[in-house]
Amino acid sequence: MADRKALNHELSKLFNEMWDMDVNRFAPGKDYAIELQGKADAVQQGDSAARHLFHYVNEERLKNTKTFATFISLLDNYETSTGVEEVVTPEEIAENNCFLDAILMTGVMKLAHQYLVKKKLAKPKLVDFKYQLYDIWFQLYPRKEGDRPDSCGFEHVFVGETRHGKQILGLHNWVQFYLQEKHKQIDYKGYIARKNKTRPDRDDQVLSIQFSWKGSVKPIGSNFIGVSPEFEFALYTVIFLLSEERVTRETVKIEEYELQIVVCRHGRHIGTAYPVLLNTNNED
């Protein structure tokens, strides 16, 4: 279970300002629609959902929103099996830079940058902040001691990885989930309920779900739904830079959601990062 830590009011305030500023966020029922179907059983791991989680997503808007479009171009750049060396081409480096340039133009990222500058955790120049983000998110490292450089923070959190073809690591991003589901790589198995709520709503923008990907089951994973890539990037970067700990858990309230944001560091880089919806029956 997640440790019950006191609510971090300062971060809650910042993240709510970022949430309100997130003009690229997709609105439930308008830009996308989900079908929650049945409640998943984390122990049995049966299938409580015959259909996809995403019933509809406005692909035009994904294509025409710069941060989403540049984000999607990064998703196919990774070899998802850990232990297999990643090869980074000059085109991929250019795509990483395009994505960072796009998110650094947004109000959400600027707000995060201002906050970090105030805390003396980032340099005031955007170009320096960009280098810092590149290092945190895109620098390759070995996921396991002795392996070749086979992973980076971006791949783990946003793309997902598999270990020995059995265990799913990461994959906490709704756009990747939607695209993998569309390509029949993901099978959504149902939702995990919050204790004080019998079932989530179609409009909930944080969900705990169970799914299988490339044949392996992830018994429980929490995802933001509909948020922009810059929102998640900003949120995880702030928590990462505020702490030197190997694992940091911050309890925050964003909108109506009481969350614990978990960020694990791998040296100077992000190892993993994800939200945990508090009051769910079981947490990862």
Amino acid (one-letter) located at 7: L
pLDDT at position 40: 76
Q: What is the mean pLDDT of the chain?
A: 84
pTM assigned to the model: 0.88
Is residue 156 part of the annotated active site? The answer reads yes
Predicted local distance difference test score (pLDDT) of residue 183: 84
* Active-site residue (options: 52, 110, 113, 156): 156
Rounded CA separation 163/118 (Å): 39
Mean per-residue pLDDT for 199-210? Answer: 78
d(C-alpha 202, C-alpha 85), whole Å: 39
Q: Is the pLDDT of residue 42 over 90?
A: no
Average pLDDT over residues 54-58: 92
Confidence category of residue 143, pLDDT binned at 50, 70, 90: low
116/238 Cα distance (integer angstroms): 7
Question: Rounded to an integer, what distance in angstroms lies between the CA atom of residue 230 and that of residue 244?
Answer: 23
Please check the confidence at residue 169 and state whether its pLDDT lies above 90.
Answer: no
Domain ranges of the chain: 9-280
Look at residue 271 and give its three-state secondary structure: strand
Cα 63 from Cα 252, distance rounded (Å): 31
Indicate the pLDDT class of residue 44, thresholds 50, 70 and 90: low
Active site residue 172: yes
Q: What is the mean pLDDT of residues 204-210?
A: 81
Q: Is the pLDDT reported for residue 216 higher than 80? A: no
- Considering the candidates 52, 189, 218, 269, report the single residue annotated as catalytic: 218
266 is catalytic: no
**Active-site hit among 52, 110, 113, 172:** 172
The confidence score (pLDDT) of residue 7 equals 93
Q: What is the DSSP string of 184-205?
A: T-EEEEEE--BTTSSS--TT-S
